[in-house]
Amino acid sequence: MIGFDEALALLTSSVRCVLGTEQVPLAQAHGRVLAEPIHAAISSPRCAVSAMDGYALRNADALRGASYRIVGESFAGGELPPAVRIGECARIFTGAAMPEGTDRVVMQENCIAGGDVMKITGPFGPGWHVRDAASDFAEGDLLLQPGTLLTPRAIVTLAGADQPAALVYKKPRVAIIATGDELVPPGAARATPRSIPESVSCGVAAMAEQYGATIEARLWGNDDLLSLQRLAGRALAIANVVIVTGGASVGERDHANAMFAEQELELLFSKVAIKPGKPVWIGRSQGRWVVGLPGNPVSAMVTARLFLVPMLALLEGRRAGDVLSWLSLPLAGPVGPKLRFWPC
Ligand SMILES: Nc1nc2c(c(=O)[nH]1)N[C@H]1C(S)=C(S)[C@@H](COP(=O)(O)OP(=O)(O)OC[C@H]3O[C@@H](n4cnc5c(N)ncnc54)[C@H](O)[C@@H]3O)O[C@H]1N2
Ligand code: MOO
């Protein structure tokens, strides 16, 4: 039995990001982890643009009550109007390039216009309503570091930097083997008195997917060593990470560890001084990671969150600290020896 900190340190120093990389288009990049630095291919905005619909003019020339001749118009993506001189202005729309000679936009709510004349009628305030060239980022700026999780925020940055695709780390492939004679598929327990619904692999698969893994197989084994050994071989052939649920303890039919013995299982640790979840174990077999979770659903979910999730993060090129953050809080009340089925 080892302490939690020691177990986590062992895991963190042993799991390497070795699954390789692949190029994915932006539409498939959400939730993936960047394997390259992202630099801006263009500046944003590319030139000074208006932040409002209104009229562009020279700031030094702007005066409430004054009139200006409208010499052209500027639309987002359109041609630039002629240069604007003193006493002149140009019609402008949000996102359109500022015409030469202009450095201020007066919102149209503060003007009236007729024919080719615009008059400033309202208090147009201190804001110039101009977004300077490269005020978001400049061409060549480093915007995203390798190891960044591609969240919606990172995706909009990638696209805004004119990057149509990204190099990302490959997703870990996971196989889950649920063990236990008493287990039946959810929905079938009501008809069989001594059975219980197989819930653990459902929750653990959802958690693994949430943290970037693909589920290659959900397998099911009785508490019979021979058939479990066959399942172990099958799972190791298709996955980077094999998760076994149940059978982690010392009962006569607890084979989770033994089912990998023929596959040269090397344990990283077995049993951690935590509650719930003491029987959790992690090892290597045939170059794959094997994670043994206790069968109790609460224990399995807690140990999956504490050990499987950082393992997946490390395999995907992230750091364990990206997915584990700690907050010390006082207990709301005394904790007895029994835990509820689902922690609230
Ligand atoms: N003599 C000892 N007995 C136990 C110890 C110990 O140290 N010495 N540890 C206890 C602890 S702590 C735990 S946790 C459990 C873990 O046992 P196993 O991993 O061997 O799990 P099982 O015995 O197979 O099942 C425990 C419990 O969970 C239910 N289960 C199992 N798999 C699923 C599943 N996929 N979905 C839903 N429920 C599942 C199973 O029916 C049992 O009720 O061992 C203690 N014993
Ligand atoms: O600690 Mo076990 O994991 O009690 O349920």
CATH number, domain of 84, equals 2.170.190.11
Nearest to 171 by CA among 315, 1, 3, 270: 315
pLDDT at residue number 152: 97
CB atoms within 10 A of CB 63: 11
C-alpha atoms less than 13 angstroms from C-alpha of 75 in its C-beta half-sphere: 3
First-to-last CA distance in the chain?
28
Same domain for 205 and 145? no
Question: In this structure, is residue 264 part of a structural domain?
Answer: yes
pLDDT at residue number 221: 87
Same domain for 268 and 226? yes
Q: How far does residue 183's CA lie from ligand 1's centre (Å)?
A: 12
Task: Give the mean pLDDT of 143-166.
Answer: 97
Q: What does DSSP say about strands 173-179 and 241-245: parallel, antiparallel, or unpaired?
A: parallel
Task: Give the mean pLDDT of 110-129.
Answer: 92
Q: Which of 199, 296, 302, 341 to mutate to test the pocket of ligand 1 (most atoms within 8 A of CB)?
A: 296
Taking CA atoms only, the protein residue closest to ligand 1 atom 32 is: 295
Q: How far does residue 298's CA lie from ligand 2's centre (Å)?
A: 8
- 281 CB-near residues (< 8 Å, 6+ apart): 248, 256, 257, 267, 269, 270, 271, 291, 292
Question: In this structure, is residue 178 part of a structural domain?
Answer: yes
Task: Give the mean pLDDT of 266-292.
Answer: 94
In sequence order, the β-bridge partners of residue 120 are 111
Q: What are phi and psi of 330, to 5 degrees?
A: -70, 145
The beta-strand segments (E) located in the chain are 21-25, 38-39, 49-50, 54-57, 67-74, 88-92, 104-107, 111-114, 117-120, 130-131, 142-144, 165-169, 173-179, 183-184, 196-197, 214-221, 241-245, 266-270, 281-285, 288-293
339 pLDDT band (50/70/90 cuts)? low
Would you say 218 and 232 are in contact if contact means Cβ atoms under 8 Å apart?
A: no
C-alpha atoms less than 13 angstroms from C-alpha of 292 in its C-beta half-sphere: 28
pLDDT at residue number 260: 87
Residue 254 pLDDT exceeds 80: no
52-93 pLDDT, tens digit each: 999 999 999 999 999 999 999 999 999 999 999 999 999 999
Residue 281 pLDDT exceeds 50: yes
Same domain for 316 and 181? yes
Closest ligand 1 atom to Cα of 294: 19
Same domain for 121 and 197? no
Same domain for 267 and 199? yes
Question: In this structure, is residue 102 part of a structural domain?
Answer: yes
Cis peptide before 45 (omega within 30 of 0): yes
Question: In this structure, is residue 283 part of a structural domain?
Answer: yes
Same domain for 122 and 71? yes
Task: Give the mean pLDDT of 280-284.
Answer: 95
Residue 48 pLDDT exceeds 90: yes
Same domain for 191 and 315? yes
Question: In this structure, is residue 230 part of a structural domain?
Answer: yes
The two tokens of residue 195 are 């059975």
303 pocket-lining for ligand 2 (C-beta < 6 Å) = no
CATH number of the domain encompassing residue 215: 3.40.980.10
253 pLDDT band (50/70/90 cuts)? low
Closest ligand 2 atom to Cα of 279: 3
Taking phi first (over 0 means left), then psi (-120 to 50 degrees means alpha), and beta for anything else, what does residue 287 get? left
Q: How far does residue 284's CA lie from ligand 2's centre (Å)?
A: 23
Taking CA atoms only, the protein residue closest to ligand 2 atom 3 is: 277
ipTM: 0.95
The two tokens of residue 108 are 């149209």
pLDDT at residue number 249: 73
- Where among 165, 183, 212 does a domain terminate? 165
15 pLDDT band (50/70/90 cuts)? very high
Question: In this structure, is residue 226 part of a structural domain?
Answer: yes
133 pLDDT band (50/70/90 cuts)? very high
Closest ligand 1 atom to Cα of 293: 19
Q: How far does residue 125's CA lie from ligand 1's centre (Å)?
A: 69
Closest ligand 2 atom to Cα of 274: 1
User: Which residues constitute the domain of residue 285?
Assistant: 4-19+170-323
292-338 pLDDT, tens digit each: 999 999 999 999 999 999 999 999 999 999 999 888 899 888 877 66
Same domain for 317 and 204? yes
Can you tell me the distance from the alpha carbon of 148 to that of 171, in angstroms, rounded to the nearest whole number? 14
Question: In this structure, is residue 343 part of a structural domain?
Answer: no
Q: Is the dihedral of CA 261, 265, 267, 271 positive or negative?
A: negative
Q: How far does residue 13's CA lie from ligand 1's centre (Å)?
A: 29
Same domain for 195 and 311? yes
Q: How far does residue 238's CA lie from ligand 2's centre (Å)?
A: 30
64 pocket-lining for ligand 2 (C-beta < 6 Å) = no
pLDDT at residue number 223: 82
Residue 340 pLDDT exceeds 70: no
Taking CA atoms only, the protein residue closest to ligand 1 atom 2 is: 250
Taking CA atoms only, the protein residue closest to ligand 1 atom 33 is: 295
Mean pLDDT across the chain? 93
pLDDT above 70 coverage of the chain, percent: 97
Report the domain count for the chain. 3
Question: In this structure, is residue 337 part of a structural domain?
Answer: no
Same domain for 291 and 177? yes
pLDDT above 90 coverage of the chain, percent: 83
Residue 341 pLDDT exceeds 60: no
pTM: 0.88
271 pocket-lining for ligand 2 (C-beta < 6 Å) = no
pLDDT at residue number 344: 42
Residue 342 pLDDT exceeds 60: no
pLDDT at residue number 326: 86
Nearest to 39 by CA among 178, 217, 167: 167
Closest ligand 1 atom to Cα of 248: 19
Closest ligand 1 atom to Cα of 179: 32
Closest ligand 2 atom to Cα of 302: 3
38 pLDDT band (50/70/90 cuts)? very high
Same domain for 316 and 192? yes
Q: How far does residue 310's CA lie from ligand 1's centre (Å)?
A: 23
Question: Token match 């990671």: residue?
Answer: 289
Same domain for 223 and 280? yes
Taking CA atoms only, the protein residue closest to ligand 1 atom 26 is: 295
